[in-house]
Amino acid sequence: MEENQFEVRTDLAVEAKDMYVEKDESKEEQIEGVVVSEKEIGRVKVTNVEVDEVGAKHIGKNAGSYHTVYSDAIKKQDTSFQEETAKVVTSQLLDLMSKNNVAQDASGLIVGLGNRNVTPDALGPLVVDKVLVTNHLFIHEPQYVQEGYRKVATFTPGVMGVTGIETSDIIQGVMDKYQPGFVIAIDALASRSIERVNATIQLSDSGIHPGSGVGNKRKELSKETLGVPVFAIGVPTVVDAVTITSDAIDYVFKHIGKEWREKDKPSKALAPAGLQLGDQSLSEEDLPSLEKRQKIFGMIGALDEQEKRALMQEVLTPLGHNLMVTPKEVDGYISDMAHLLAQSINAAMHENINIDNFAQYTR
């Protein structure tokens, strides 16, 4: 089996880094040119992946900063936790803007990528619908513009399957006319992990390739090609059947591994039947050894992560069964995530909008 033929593409830098490490278990966790740091802000976890040109070659992502925000506020339908998450997203976006020397009065173009009529792909257009737009006021009614706001315009290019035109061409055409000081593009992504769906927000300054989210590689829009900073905000909203299956097999391994590890522990042996003790979650250390995995799942147990996915993909794709799926509750999740991101962007754009008042600027 050719190794790269079925290699799994990912839009998330944290996944790309993990994949690189998984490929060869002998490799160090520390990758040359890739610096990873983590922190927790309240209930929200943030991972920062800094990739230089050397690291870019290793993990197959552009050089740049990737800030990944983890929060299950949307999935838990917890509105105050959603506000808390929005504040973290605002701070991460401001951090990226500051790293890229975006001036206080630089004008922004917020681009909503994706297909408005396919709910899990509609995140970008829905965010843009809720972003506060000021550019036309600066031009046509400057008397109504207070201090503390910058020029913001928005734009929804559509997708090539609907317009018939390369999305990157449309964006470049509009930028030739509007000439913003920076671009923020919002897009729905595919995830390599079911846990990350609607629970991860990646912010980066490494540019975008419109259309890549659904398997196509189109022309890149980045600081290099456009001359202005291009920030991307991506949220995984779909997974494929290969991911679900691969994740599930891993959970089975870990579950059985944990059972084995714990079976002689007195606490478990003495616990009344049906009583769940302690943490129910599974961790990497629950994963049994290769030998044991092979016992559970034969030759499939012997495959590493990449090989297992490649096999699944080889089997499912020609049958038409490697479909992209999304949680049944997609309408509510996407709507709430759009609200969260629009709040975050509004607060990051304007000095006058901040974490205490952003709710009233966002419908």
Q: DSSP assignment of 192-220, as one string? A: S-GGGTTTEEEEESS-B-TTGGGT-----
Which CB, 55 or 125, lies closer to a copy of itself? 125
Q: What is the DSSP string of 266-301?
A: HHHHHSPTT---S-----GGGSPPHHHHHHHHHHHH
Q: Among residues 21, 88, 93, 121, which is the contact residue for a copy of itself, using CB under 8 A?
A: 121
Distances (CA, A) of 112 to 128, 153, 173: 6, 11, 15
How many residues bind a copy of itself (CB under 8 A)? The answer is 84
Q: Please, what is the minimum distance in Å from the beta carbon of residue 119 to a copy of itself?
A: 6
What's the first-to-final CA gap in the chain, in angstroms? 51
> How far, CA to CA in Å, does 267 sit from each of 263, 276, 279?
9, 11, 13
How many Å apart are CA 82 and CA 68, to the nearest integer? 16
Taking the complex as a whole, how short is the minimal distance between the CB of residue 231 and a copy of itself, in angstroms? 18
Q: Which of residues 231-250 bind a copy of itself (CB under 8 A)?
A: 238-239, 241-242, 244-245, 247-249
* Binding-site member from 120, 236, 257, 288 for a copy of itself (CB under 8 A): 120
CA distance 220 to 217: 9
Shortest separation between residue 255's beta carbon and a copy of itself, angstroms: 4
Is 1 a binder of a copy of itself (CB under 8 A)? no
- Please identify, using beta-carbon distances, which residue of 7 and 314 lies nearer to a copy of itself: 314
Q: Name the DSSP class of 142.
A: G
Neighbours of 101 (CB within 10 A): 9
Tell me the one-letter amino acid at 298. Answer: G
Residue 227 binds a copy of itself (CB under 8 A): no
| Shortest Å, Cβ 49 to a copy of itself | 25
User: Among 10-18, 220-228, 273-281, 346-354, which window interacts with a copy of itself (CB under 8 A)?
Assistant: 273-281
* 349 near a copy of itself, rule: CB under 8 A: no
Q: Is 74 exposed, middle or buried (0-12, 13-18, 19+ CB in 10 A)?
A: buried
Q: Roughly what angle, to the nearest 10 degrees, separates helices 305-319 and 241-262?
A: 140
Q: Among residues 133, 271, 277, 290, which is the contact residue for a copy of itself, using CB under 8 A?
A: 133
Find out whether 172 and 179 touch, Cβ atoms under 8 Å.
no
Q: CB under 8 A: which stretch of 22-30, 51-59, 202-210, 326-334 binds a copy of itself? A: 326-334
Determine, following the binding rule CB under 8 A, whether residue 276 of this chain makes contact with a copy of itself.
yes
Question: Considering the rule CB under 8 A, would residue 118 count as an interface residue with a copy of itself?
Answer: yes
When binding is defined by CB under 8 A, the residue of 143, 281, 283, 289 that contacts a copy of itself is 281
Q: Does 154 bind a copy of itself (CB under 8 A)?
A: yes
| Residues 253-272 as x/- pattern, contact with a copy of itself by CB under 8 A | --x-----------------
Q: Name which of residues 177 to 216 contact a copy of itself (CB under 8 A).
A: 177-178, 194-195
Closer by beta carbon to a copy of itself, 15 or else 34: 15
Q: Does 217 bind a copy of itself (CB under 8 A)?
A: no
Cβ atoms of residues 34 and 17 within 8 Å: yes
Q: Which stretch binds a copy of itself (CB under 8 A): 15-23, 24-32, 315-323, 347-355?
A: 315-323
Question: Which one of residues 148, 161, 215, 227 is an interface residue with a copy of itself (CB under 8 A)?
Answer: 161
The DSSP bridge pattern shows strands 182-190 and 44-51 to be unpaired
Of residues 67-106, those binding a copy of itself (CB under 8 A): 79-80
Q: By C-beta, is 58 or 292 nearer to a copy of itself?
A: 292
How many other C-beta atoms lie within 10 A of the C-beta of residue 197? 24
Smallest separation, CB 125 to a copy of itself (Å): 9
Burial of 83 (0-12, 13-18, 19+ CB in 10 A): middle
